[in-house]
Structure 1
Amino acid sequence: MSDQLTMQNPVNRYPDISPPKQDQPEPGLDVELIPRTDRGEDTYRGTGRLEGRKALISGSDSGIGAAVAIAFAREGADVALSYLPEEEDDAQHVCEIIRRAGRTALPLPGDLRDPAYCRDLVGQTLGGLGGLDALVNNAGRQIAVDRVDDLSEEQWRDTYETNIHAMFRVVKAAVDHLPAGSTIVNSTSVQAYSPSAHLIDYASTKAAINNFTKGLATQLAPRGIRVNAVAPGPIWTPLQVSDGQPKEALPHFGKNTPLGRAGQPTELAPAYVFLTSSESSYVLGETLNVNGGQPTP
């Protein structure tokens, strides 16, 4: 397959997958996913757009976060990876790819629901990379529940702790260490605009992330820190098979987009690179939608 800079037909650039019904325990692993995801290991070509940057990326062991970590390294950035301890195998694979690109990979396992880990994460990044100037808040929790009657207090709380409370805590710990020119990119979702009935807790956190991003961008702009977001559509990741989607829906995942297929994680990476690079110096408070053509506000 050609690299991301080669002109190709987006309809068939990546396979139109029909994933079989499958199940993994939360949080899910890339190594066990059928079919496997494309995170750009063999296709992403860097052009030096993030040379010398020092990035912290949450949820960077698999899926979108892994694709972003690989792209950042190939663009010249050192990367600290935040992920759950259960995802160690996936994380070490991504670390190997980063190191083969000649960059530093700093694995930092832990649970973002723990406020102490959120604070320590920034300190460990500063110590391990010698600084921090690019923060990507990507980690997310998504569990499908058909009826609000069956949505437990525990799930509601855990989804909010992972998706939005942790984002606030990491930003708060990091902001005084971010020099002018630094960037924050938050992962939101098409669900923020068009919530699925079985994802009301997840979708509502993504709407909160959109709002948090815009308000924070306005607040930090005078300090020279740019804040933006990326809103993925249906992207094939382990999130979908670890109860993120109803099992019967997996074979049809992403086929309702105008492109007629699910996206691959590597198709998200250039959006994060753009918003982190100096090319986007006049872009603040923006939510960049990467969703296969689904209409958004």
Structure 2
Amino acid sequence: MYCFDRAAALVLGGLPARRGAFVSRFYTRTSRAFSRSCSGARAMATFPAQKQESQPGVQHVMDPHPRTRRSDYKPSDKLKNKVALITGGDSGIGRAVAYFYSLEGASVAITYVPGKEEKDAEEAIHMIKEAKTAHAKDPIMIPGDIGYDENCKKIVDEVVKAYGRIDILVNNAAEQYRVQKIEDLKPEQLERVFRTNIFSHFYLSRYAVPHMKEGEGCIINTTSVNAYKGNKTLIDYTSTKGAIVGFTRSLALNLVDRGIRVNGVAPGPVWAPLIPASSPEPQQTEHFGEQCPMGKAAQPDDIAPSYVFLASEDAAFFTGQVLHPNGGMIVNA
């Protein structure tokens, strides 16, 4: 309200008394309405209390369902004839990226966790097929625990068998567990989080790069605003996201001579299965995202266009960079 207040004071100071009184009453009513509008916007951002008992979370039981599609989005064949592999493409940001890539003409493969995410993966594949352009091949879903080297090789081999190559690799899948004290962070959890969140980036990249055409391939890594701001109860998760930033910058330099671009996206709070699956208490989801300057969490379809940009020719001069769709949090990086 500061800018609004100050502007009104400057205007009122230069007006005759009667006209100034009229504008003053108008300003007061407008100011109150503006305040109610802001508070109302924040109230609308509240989610119902909910909790899932295990990781990875699933999308089909969430209330409300995370939003994948935007009715106002206008595709323009930015990724025509491209082949994309997206980890964690069954739900959340990954599903939205897969959907947007399909709209833009790409043939899309997604990974999911077997025994847990089949329903989400099937729903995602159905949406991707609906969005598919005429020249793209049918999407495929590949089960696998990406925290292990041999599984990542199998995933890449299956994509190459289906499509002949890989043009875009999106390292997106992640998991997180909250701890109140460092003493509560067990070695088993630490290894699990690092395997999924950062080891997989190394494994998949080293197997995918040989199947990318020099001068055309790109890798996009999902990091987080937490890598820049820290998070006191997500110590291991935040550490992996910081490692992803370093990985992105270093791999970009390593591959620049081969014309393969490497960039990242660092979202702020996003309504996705990771949130209810890592909330200690159901009530903690109720005001999720309200702490950011925009006063609300993003939906996955708010984030996906960043991945479209980085995968397209529009980002031809981008490598080693990170985009920050985070609702206004200033990270100075």
Task: Confirm or deny a common fold (TM above 0.5).
Answer: yes
Encode CA deviations 1:124-160: one digit per residue, 9 max, x unaligned: 1011122110000000011111111111110000000
Contact 2:82 2:106 in 1 (8 A): yes
- Provide the rounded CA distance (Å) in 2 between the counterparts of 1:194 and 1:18: 24
Change over 3 Å in CA distance of 1:22–1:202 after alignment to 2: same
Determine which structure has the larger helix proportion and give its number.
2
How far has the Cα of 1:57 moved from its partner? 0.2
- Provide the rounded CA distance (Å) in 1 between the counterparts of 2:281 and 2:228: 20
- Provide the rounded CA distance (Å) in 1 between the counterparts of 2:234 and 2:254: 30
Alignment partner of 2:122 out of 92, 104, 111: 92
Match of 2:208 in 1: 174
Encode CA deviations 1:209-235: one digit per residue, 9 max, x unaligned: 000000100110110100000001000
- Provide the rounded CA distance (Å) in 2 between the counterparts of 1:27 and 1:43: 30
Structure 2 gaps of 5+ residues are 1-39
Change over 3 Å in CA distance of 1:245–1:256 after alignment to 2: farther
Q: How many pairs are equivalent?
A: 288
Contact 2:279 2:285 in 1 (8 A): no
Change over 3 Å in CA distance of 1:137–1:20 after alignment to 2: same
- Say whether 1:206 aligns with 2:235: no
- 4+ residue runs over 6 A deviation: none
- Say whether 1:241 aligns with 2:252: no
> Is the radius of gyration larger for structure 1 or structure 2?
2
- Provide the rounded CA distance (Å) in 2 between the counterparts of 1:178 and 1:250: 40
How far has the Cα of 1:245 moved from its partner? 6.1
Contact 1:196 1:203 in 2 (8 A): yes
- Provide the rounded CA distance (Å) in 1 between the counterparts of 2:121 and 2:270: 19
Change over 3 Å in CA distance of 1:248–1:197 after alignment to 2: farther
Contact 2:89 2:110 in 1 (8 A): yes
- Provide the rounded CA distance (Å) in 1 between the counterparts of 2:171 and 2:186: 25
Structure 1 gaps of 5+ residues are 1-10
Aligned with 1:31: secondary structure? coil
- Greater CA drift, 184-193 or 244-253: 244-253
Contact 1:143 1:245 in 2 (8 A): no
Match of 2:131 in 1: 101
TM-score w.r.t. length of structure 2: 0.83
Percentage identity across aligned positions? 39
Match of 1:33 in 2: 62
Contact 1:17 1:262 in 2 (8 A): no
Aligned with 2:160: secondary structure? helix
Alignment partner of 1:118 out of 152, 168, 172: 152
The within-5 A match list for 1:1-297 is 16-40=45-69, 44-85=73-114, 86-102=116-132, 103=136, 104-179=138-213, 180-243=215-278, 247-297=282-332
